[in-house]
Amino acid sequence: MSCSCWSSPPACGVALQWDDLNFKTGTLRVERQVHRAKGKLILSQPKTRAANRTISLPAPLLGVLQEYRQQVHSRWLFPSPRKDDLPLDPASVHKHLTTILERAGCKHIRFHDLRHLFATMSLEHGMDIKTLSTVIGHVSSSTTLNIYAHVTDEMRRTAVMKIDQGVVKSEAQMENQPVPRKPAPSTFQPYKGKRRKPGTGCVTQINDHLWEGRDSPVWPDGKKHPRNVYSRTREECERLLAEMILQMKAEIAAEKERLRLEKQAA
């Protein structure tokens, strides 16, 4: 399935139900997520309005799902092996991914890395920014453009070469011009940095042109609320991450003060 449905916890993929899938139209609704809290699986709405979306599935995948449907006796697409009326635990899915990668001798990657790979390949094979933004659940197309600017820049260079070759009619010039090629698929080799001190977040190299900064502080509600920043260089990513951490610390302090005042008023 498209990795746009599978991201780091909370996970939308394991929250899919058969009623979300329309075999006639080939569409799939994404409108809930699952996360574990205090030992229990909790269903909730996706974190942004854009994450509630409908995506189209390719015919080969629909065929696989139709065959798979005959083996499942649950409302969930991916039910728990212990209880049919519960979805699969996101932690179990990530554990399976780690096992598969180890057996295949591959480097460790996250489902979030697969999401980046899906988006990169979609752009390289002609999907427009607006459609991709909708599929992966970004709030706006500008967010997608900022994250995948390296891909769109290469696509623009390729388009310019094609236009130039079409204008130049001389066979001699045509022979000397390099044949435009589609951007080569990205060699996806996420880099995991060394363990950092608590409160400093982590920085990961997604590919040659993209770095991701991430921090997951615990808020007053007892839950981790991860946030991400992206940049083309590690240095810029470190700077943006530091600014984001300071902002989150201020927000957490403000939330604690709000809860304290509410408790006093009660």
Please report how the helices 149-167 and 111-124 are oriented relative to each other, as an axis angle in degrees rounded to 10.
10
Same domain, 175 and 201: no
User: Does residue 171 sit in the same domain as residue 214?
Assistant: no
User: Does one domain contain both 11 and 76?
Assistant: yes
* 139 inside domain: yes
Question: Is 162 part of any domain?
Answer: yes
Is 198 part of a structural domain of the chain? Answer: yes
At 100, give phi and psi (nearest 5°): -65, -45
pLDDT of res. 185: 58
Report pLDDT for 225: 81
**Helical pair 129-136 and 111-124, crossing angle rounded to 10 deg:** 160
Q: Which residue among 189, 211, 232 closes a domain? A: 189
26 — alpha (psi -120 to 50), left (phi > 0) or beta? left
Verify that 162 and 219 share a domain, yes or no: no
pLDDT at residue number 137: 81
Residues 6 or more apart in contact with residue 5 via CB below 8 angstroms = 12, 13, 16, 28, 30, 55
Average pLDDT of the chain?
78
Same domain, 63 and 18: yes
Q: Specify whether 213 is located in the same domain as 255.
A: yes
Residue with tokens 């615990």: 218
Q: Are residues 72 and 16 in the same domain?
A: yes
Which of these three, 189, 207, 227, is where a domain ends?
189
CB within 8 Å of 260: residues ≥ 6 apart: none
Q: Which of 62, 81, 99 is the last residue of a domain?
A: 99
pLDDT class of 20 with cuts at 50, 70, 90: very high
Q: Is position 61 within any domain?
A: yes
Question: Domain count of the chain?
Answer: 3
- For 162, the domain range is 109-189
Residue 19 pLDDT greater than 90, yes or no: yes
| Entry pTM | 0.50
The two structure tokens encoding residue 174: 């045509």
Range 3-25 average pLDDT: 71
Residues 20 and 74 reside in one and the same domain: yes
The percent of residues in the chain predicted with pLDDT above 70, rounded, is 77
- CB burial string 208-227: b at 16+ within 10 A, e below: ebbbbbbbebeeeeeeeeee
Q: Is residue 104 part of a domain?
A: no
Angle formed by the axes of helices 90-104 and 111-124, to 10°? 70
Report yes or no: 92 and 56 within 8 Å, Cβ to Cβ.
Answer: no
What per-residue confidence (pLDDT) applies to 180?
A: 58
Question: Are residues 15 and 86 located together in one domain of the fold?
Answer: yes
In tens, the pLDDT along 209-251 reads 777 888 888 888 888 888 888 888 888 888 888 888 888 888 8
pLDDT digits (tens, 9 = 90+) for 171-218: 555 556 565 565 555 554 544 545 677 778 888 887 777 778 888 888
Q: Is residue 259 part of a domain?
A: yes
Q: Are 69 and 158 in contact (CB under 8 A)?
A: no
Question: Which amino acid does the sequence have at 157?
Answer: R
Whether 50 is covered by a domain: the verdict is yes
246 shares a domain with 182: no
In which band, very low, low, confident or very high, does the pLDDT at 3 lie, cut at 50, 70 and 90? very low
Task: Report which listed range, 68-77, 163-172, 176-185, is most confident.
Answer: 68-77
CA 261, distance to chain mean position in Å, is 37
Question: Are 86 and 164 within one domain?
Answer: no
Residues 146-159 have a mean pLDDT of 68
114 within a domain of the structure (yes/no) = yes
**What is the residue-wise DSSP string for 80-114?**
-SS-TTSBPPHHHHHHHHHHHHHHHTPPP--HHHH
| Residues 205, 260 within the same domain | yes
Number of H helices and E strands in the chain, helices first, is 8, 9
